[in-house]
Structure 1
Amino acid sequence: MNNELKMSYQAELMAAADAAHQSDFTTAFSHLERAHILSQKFAFAHAATHLRMLRLGWRTRDAREIFGQLTRAAAALVFSRIWVPLGNTGRASVSPFEPMHVPEDLANILKSTKRDNRSS
Structure 2
Amino acid sequence: MTKLSLKEKYLEELEQGKQLFDNKDYFPAFYHFERAHILGQPHYFRHVRSHYWMLRVGIKKAQFREIVGQIIRIFGSVGSLFGQYPVGNTGGANVSPFKPMPIPEDLKPYLEQ
Q: TM exceeds 0.5?
A: yes
Within 1, Cα distance between the matches of 2:83 and 2:110?
21
Within 2, Cα distance between the matches of 1:51 and 1:66?
10
Within 2, Cα distance between the matches of 1:19 and 1:107?
24
CA RMSD of aligned residues (A): 1.0
Alignment-derived partner of residue 12 in structure 1: 13
Within 1, Cα distance between the matches of 2:38 and 2:66?
17
Percentage identity across paired residues of the two chains: 44
- Aligned-partner SS, 1:9: helix
Within 1, Cα distance between the matches of 2:52 and 2:18?
13
Alpha-carbon deviations, 1:13-65, whole Å to 9, x = none? 11001111222111100000000000001111101111111111101111000
Within 2, Cα distance between the matches of 1:25 and 1:56?
6
Alignment-derived partner of residue 64 in structure 2: 63
Aligned length: 109
Larger radius of gyration: 1
Alignment-derived partner of residue 104 in structure 2: 103
Greater fraction helix: 1
Contiguous gaps of at least 5 residues in structure 2? none
Within 2, Cα distance between the matches of 1:10 and 1:40?
13
TM-score (structure 2 length as normaliser):
0.92
Within 1, Cα distance between the matches of 2:16 and 2:48?
18
Alignment-derived partner of residue 29 in structure 1: 30
Alignment-derived partner of residue 79 in structure 2: 79
Within 2, Cα distance between the matches of 1:65 and 1:109?
27
- Aligned-partner SS, 2:106: helix
Segments ≥4 residues shifted beyond 4 Å = none
- Aligned-partner SS, 1:37: helix
Contiguous gaps of at least 5 residues in structure 1? 113-120
Tell me the amino acid that sits aligned with residue 79 of structure 2.
Answer: F
Alignment-derived partner of residue 39 in structure 2: 38
